[in-house]
Amino acid sequence: MKFAGFMKKGGLIALALVIAIALDTLLAASGWVQSSGYFWLDDFELTRRDHPEEVWDRVIYGSSELTSGYREDISRSGYVNMGMDYATICDLVEILEGGHIELGSELVLALNWGALSDIMDTNPTYEWHRKWYEPYVYFQRDRIAGFVTDGFKALIRAGEPRARQWLTQTKAYYFGHMDGAELAGRVEKLHELYLTGGLADFEENIAALDEAFAFCAENGVRVRALWLPENPAAPADEVDLAVREAAREACEAAGVEFYDMTDALPADCFYDTGHMEYDHGAVVFTEVLDEWLLS
């Protein structure tokens, strides 16, 4: 009898587990978190929202400096701006090999030291960071917990129901310009945080370039690389220059075209050291870049 009771209880536990897994899978597949408007979206999710097509034929990938610089709305070249906060080449390899996007004919890598840094924290909400054994509800726990909390507060009249305020969310763009003191402070801070360890802090991402090139070769995708413009008003960091040359060497060794835009823009095009000012700098950058993208 005890064994039968144990099996009965075990069966109920197993059934509950199966139901939980099924509901978790359905929630993940529904895309409700990303489409409902109740939740803040990361940059990958915003790109997905704005480009629902199954295949992205032409893609330009990079970190937030690309996000703020390449203006899809005025570009003649028709590339998807896959600029994302804290995006690295290691991220790109996970994206490609994990099937998170399907490339069509072309991929352009918009490189800078940030996109090649091994020590800069990434955005943990990017979907490729979810482990295979990790339930979707757990992976999304921060966003879902906030939604549930807001709903409970509204239920007991201790707050307002959450509005669908993120339906029109955009990526982060930059307006205006840092003054000289602010720019000098930014240069010093970036150096202290990310540029004191030399090339050793960039080895994994530089090596990942070859993995990205190999994926493109195997899948018939044309791949090119560019080095993003840098503010000439900010002193060049020696490590930054060394990383650029290491990236150039990796591209040349693989037979991948490398377009060096380091000095392509004047200082009035920049918000800070590398983020371009949206209303002017991004327009100039997009016009210059289009000439190369269409070549």
Amino acid 10: pLDDT? 72
Does 209 map to a domain?
Answer: yes
In this prediction, residues 245-272 reach a mean pLDDT of 98
Please provide the average confidence, as pLDDT, over all residues in the chain.
94
In a domain, 71, yes or no: yes
Give tens-digit pLDDT for 155-195. 998 899 999 999 999 999 999 999 999 999 999 999 999 99
Beta bridge partners of 276: 270
Share of the chain above pLDDT 70, in %: 97
Rounded-to-10 torsion of CA 24, 87, 81, 37: 30
Are residues 251 and 258 in contact, defined by beta-carbon separation less than 8 angstroms? Answer: yes
The pLDDT tens digits of the residues spanning 201-226 come to 999 999 999 999 999 999 999 999 99
- Asked if residue 9 has pLDDT above 80, the reply is no
Confidence of residue 12 (pLDDT cuts 50, 70, 90): confident
Domain count for the chain, please give it: 1
Q: What are phi and psi of 36, to 5 degrees?
A: -75, -25
Q: How confident is residue 4, by pLDDT bands cut at 50, 70 and 90?
A: low
Does the pLDDT at position 2 exceed 60?
Answer: no
In a domain, 153, yes or no: no
- Residue 259 within a domain: yes
Q: Kindly report each contact of residues 286-291 with a partner whose C-beta sits within 8 Å and lies 24 or more positions away, as own/partner.
A: 286/69, 286/70, 286/71, 286/74, 286/75, 288/261, 288/264, 289/70, 289/75, 289/77, 289/226, 289/261, 290/75, 290/76, 290/77
What would the mean pLDDT of 244-254 be, rounded to a whole number?
98
pTM assigned to the model: 0.92
Residues 140 and 142: their CA atoms lie apart, in Å, by 6
Which structural domain range is residue 263 located in?
39-130+172-293
Gap between the Cα atoms of 64 and 176, Å rounded: 16
150 within domain boundaries = no
- Of the listed ranges 120-124, 222-226, 243-247, 265-269, the least confidently predicted one is 120-124
Task: Tell me the pLDDT tens digit for each residue of 108-144.
Answer: 999 999 999 999 988 999 999 999 999 999 999 999 9
Question: Which domain CATH number covers 118?
Answer: 3.40.50.1110
| Amino acid type, 193 | L
Residue 265, domain member (yes or no): yes
Please determine, for residue 1, whether its predicted confidence score (pLDDT) is greater than 80.
no
CA–CA dist 83, 115 (Å, integer): 10
Residue 45, in any domain of the structure: yes
pLDDT of 3 over the 60 cut: no
For residue 149, tell me if it sits in a domain. Answer: no
98 DSSP 8-state letter: T
pLDDT per residue as tens digits for the range 31-62: 999 999 999 999 999 999 999 999 999 999 99
What pLDDT, on the 0 to 100 scale, is given for residue 5? Answer: 59
Q: For residue 237, is pLDDT > 80?
A: yes
